Amino acid sequence: MTFQTPFALLGAALAARGYAAPTSVQAAVLEEEALGRDLVVSAQTGSGKTVAFGLAMAPELLEADGRALSSSAPLALVIAPTRELALQVSRELAWLYEGTGARVATCVGGMDPSRERRALAHGAHIVVGTPGRLRDHLERGALDLGSLAVAVLDEADEMLDMGFREDLEELLDATPEGRRTLLFSATMPKPIVALARRYQRDALRISTVDADRGHGDIAYQAMAIAPADIENAVVNVLRFHEAETAILFCATRDNVRHLHASLTERGFAVVALSGEHSQNERNHALQALRDRRARVCVATDVAARGIDLPGLSLVIHVEVPRDAETLQHRSGRTGRAGKKGTAILLVPYPRRRRVEMMLRNARVPAEWRSPPSAEEIRAADADRLLSALLAPVEPGEGDREIASRLMAERSAEEIALALVQAHRSRLPQPEELLASDAPPPQGPRPGFEGSAWFRLNVGRRQNADPRWILPLLCRRGHITRREIGAIRITANESLFEVAGPAAARFLDAVRRTAEEDDGVEIVAVEGSPRMEAKRQGGHRGAPRGNDRNAQPRDRKFGRPKGPRRER
């Protein structure tokens, strides 16, 4: 299907940008039944919404020959929730309407308001802005909405969530009764329905969510990891993919700050976006990503709204999204305009079941896989290095002279080794990940031949986690982390492996450091966890030890959670 628009100038602009066929939402707004009507459109992030409403409002802005109507006041108003989204929308509409002579003005917080007032005074066919700044210009008399023919609310659900209801109502109340209202929203909660009922007449409901669900150009992966391994898993995922641009989502600004500092320390070119950054800092961060001075962005959900980065091919959900819609919004930053993208969820294994349910609700076919190991990363590095060094090159001025001097001083093998080392020295080191609660691998790990297994009477129901178990074992057993192998956490206990040479020393130290009042019991088991399960009758996760009515402990392995009820 090709674009069918009555305005040849818009068609030429789309063709120049490489648009061969409309997306589902673009095709829907061009249908005959949508022409001239109010619209309520549900469409996902990255589905081409901006071009869609740019085409939908064309009849109110253009003459029959495609040229912009003559008007001293704005004919179209586009309201967006964030500065970044408003600026992105403004850029999109500017190239779409460039050939028509229509002028676009942008009014957003953090910019010079006097400059915006001058742009409005000189005349603009389309005004794009954020609710607060547009309301300020309206109240100061700089924005005249008396001739408005069409109003567009982009990501209306986000604007209501951010508390812009009063601003939106004041702006819409200042527009003529006969104007068209196009409401675009990824979700349709009750406040959006009420807003549509108040400001629209006989609106046509369009939903392309199902058609775009899961974003067909995005490959989803989920990785179950130990909670203490999240940061190391981030490092390995970034190193394995070496994406042109990647965005990492955290839940809070504190977590953004911490992860940004950690990745910077490891040598990644990384920027941060959160509510604590000024508009100037945000602009510098985004510009660094666009001109490739930075390749990784750590952001909160709110700070990343409206970001459109060319070349963004990797999204990492460092912290699990709160719901399916957040998953879609985050992941929709990649896989845009027909390009492929990858979205990876790092899932602490206690939350795997919840994530599986969320993926089903979102109808996202995610592939569950292990996080990249250091060995896999080194193999990928070798392939990338060989590909780069074997690619044809065009020598610059003086390059051959330097090459000749090198060949005179060193052998070909020595020069090749120097190139390999120079390449590797610029790359952050991959991390060794902790063992998760997955079954131990078949065969002993290197250095763990003849290892011994032990049981700890604390499991998942008592919030057991390698982050707490490892320091406890090292402190009680007087061993190092390197001497602890696989850890298998079940419902009421944890089984762990200790290297053979350290096993006897570990058991002796555990007996000497036992504390009677902490309720923690560490005992040796015979053979492997599988042999132990058979010996116990195959009841995995059943309470062990002499006292089967022992009270569960809290996550600090201290006081009991409470007395066990008698049945």
pLDDT at residue 441, as a whole number: 44
CATH number of the domain that 189 lies in? 3.40.50.300
Question: Is 365 in the same domain as 491?
Answer: no
Residue ranges of the chain with per-residue pLDDT less than 70? 1-4, 44-46, 209-216, 306, 310, 336-338, 434-447, 516-518, 527-567
CATH number of the domain that 515 lies in? 3.30.70.330
Q: Which of 212, 227, 261 is the last residue of a domain?
A: 212
Name the domain count of the chain: 3
pLDDT at residue 540, as a whole number: 42
Name every residue whose Cβ is closer than 8 Å to that of residue 201 and which is 6 or more positions away in sequence: 38
Question: Is 205 in the same domain as 60?
Answer: yes
pLDDT at residue 64, as a whole number: 85
Instruction: Give the pTM.
Output: 0.56
Whole-angstrom Cα distance, residue 65 to residue 68? 9
Question: Is 201 in the same domain as 227?
Answer: no
Q: How far is CA 205 from the centre of its chain?
A: 29
Name every residue whose Cβ is closer than 8 Å to that of residue 97 and which is 6 or more positions away in sequence: 10, 13, 54, 61, 68, 104, 125, 126
pLDDT at residue 257, as a whole number: 92
pLDDT at residue 115, as a whole number: 92
Question: Is 264 in the same domain as 155?
Answer: no
Secondary element (H or E) of residue 406: helix 399-409
pLDDT at residue 350, as a whole number: 82
Q: Which of 156, 183, 212 is the last residue of a domain?
A: 212
Question: Is 80 in the same domain as 194?
Answer: yes
Which residues constitute the domain of residue 452? Answer: 434-562
What are residue 282's phi and psi, to 5 degrees? -65, -45
